[in-house]
Amino acid sequence: MAVSCAGWLSPSRVRRPTPRHRAPPLEGSGTEPNRRANLNINFEALASSEAAGCATSAELDILRVLKGGKSLADSLGAHPDYFSDLFINMVRAGEASGSLAAVFERLAEFEKSRDELRGYIISSMIYPCLLALVGFGSIFVLLNFVVPRFASVFQESRMKIPVPTMIMLEASKIVQTYWWMAASAMLATAVILRSYTRTTSGRLWWDSSRLRIPLLGDALRKAETARFARSMATLVANNVPLVQSIGIAAAILTNRKMAGALGEVAQGVKRGEGIAAPIRKAAVFPPLAAHLLMVGEETGRLDQMFARMAEIYETDTRTAVKRFTSLFEPLVILVMGVMVGALILSMLLAITSINDVAV
């Protein structure tokens, strides 16, 4: 049996392990003594890096517990801050079935898919956010520094100032006088909102609200569905009980609204309703998800259907994010262009009026 776990089980990496972090496999037979020997060798290799300042106290503690005769899953379970429930339960199932190498391969695939999707979403949102920030910053600079210079010229000319220019000058005075109040209000709102969303009810309200945002809510729903499906595919394929798998997958979801709905799904599974019907009743997952799971239950290939569902919604998430950014970017450009254009036009009107008076 090949056990690739030296790099995988470094606590600094288990949250986002990738193939490059994994050590070369150790060959051994499938017997329990040899599996334990291989694990000890792996952790001895990790512990030996302490001289170079690389080993952590968690790695050394896992090695100590493992040498004491406990299972690898129990050793990892002693460090919940480093190892997720999914990771620990997958390892426990792998130890019970003698397929620990396959477990690490599935975990590698799961983490790689999850990180790729997260990275795509983040990278897709960087440019629109930067564009909006630069646009509002430009308007603030114009109103706070550029327009006041023209205001003094207009006042000295003692001419009748056009209405658009008057509006611009009043807006400039408001920004100059009250910008710190607006900034303080925004900061206070952000702090209050952050504090409220850290409570159970606040987090539930926030996550529910995000799902109702046009376009973006659809992308978030599909991303959470893909994360749920990928987790379930990994767990079910490794023979983790379905109810326990649902609980672990719910803990992985970042949206509390959807995670809470999985509690009712688990109760439905316990009542013998299967998983497709409770998923449909939850009404927080896309309709296609329930249909795919119903097919998986009928064919007895639920793990494969979860994997297929994950692929579908990972692709749909990328499409939804791309659709959102393709609409958001021109919208930001349009709004910024209209505002900056209005400022420039109002100044040109005043300058033209001055020239007319001079003539």
Looking at residue 258, what is its pLDDT? 92
Q: Are 85 and 251 in contact (CB under 8 A)?
A: yes
- CB-based burial label for 260 (10 Å; 0-12, 13-18, 19+): middle
CB count within 10 Å of CB 123 equals 10
Cα(46)–Cα(50) distance, integer angstroms: 8
Helical ranges in 162-199 per DSSP H: 163-197
Crossing angle of helices 85-97 and 216-237, in 10° steps, is 20
CA dihedral 37, 38, 41, 45 (to 10 degrees): -160
Q: What is the predicted pLDDT for the residue at 100?
A: 77
* DSSP codes, 22-84: PPPPEE--SSHHHHHHHHHHHHHHHHHGGGGT---HHHHHHHHHHHTT--HHHHHHT-TTTS-
- Indicate the burial class of 190 (C-beta count within 10 angstroms; 0-12, 13-18, 19 or more): exposed
* Residue 311, amino acid: E
CB 55 within 8 A of CB 206: no
Q: How far apart are CA 158 and CA 284, in angstroms?
A: 63
Q: Cα(85)–Cα(80) distance, rounded to whole angstroms?
A: 8
3-class secondary-structure state, position 121: helix
- Decide if 90 contacts 73 (C-beta within 8 A): no
Q: Give residues with Cβ within 8 angstroms of 221, minimum separation 6.
A: 211, 258, 284, 285, 286
Q: How far apart are CA 86 and CA 353, in angstroms?
A: 71
Q: What is the pLDDT along the chain (359 residues), one digit of tens a residue?
A: 334 444 445 444 444 443 333 333 333 334 444 455 555 555 555 555 544 444 467 767 777 777 777 777 787 888 777 777 778 877 877 776 677 777 788 778 778 887 888 888 888 888 888 888 888 888 888 888 877 877 777 666 666 777 887 888 888 888 888 888 888 999 999 999 999 988 989 999 999 998 998 888 888 899 899 989 988 888 888 888 899 889 888 888 888 999 999 999 999 999 999 899 999 998 899 989 999 999 999 988 898 999 999 999 989 988 888 888 888 888 888 888 888 888 888 878 777 766 655 44
Task: Give me the pLDDT at residue 48, please.
Answer: 56
Q: Is residue 230 a contact partner of residue 114, using CB atoms and an 8 Å limit?
A: yes
CA distance 265 to 262: 5
In this structure, what token pair is assigned to residue 92? 């426990």
One-letter amino acid for residue 218 of the chain:
D
Give the domain ranges of the chain: 2-83, 110-359
Nearest-angstrom CA–CA distance, 103 and 86: 11
Cα R_g (the chain), whole angstroms? 29
CA distances in angstroms from 29 to 1, 34, 46, listed in the order given = 5, 6, 22
First and final CA of the chain: distance in angstroms? 94
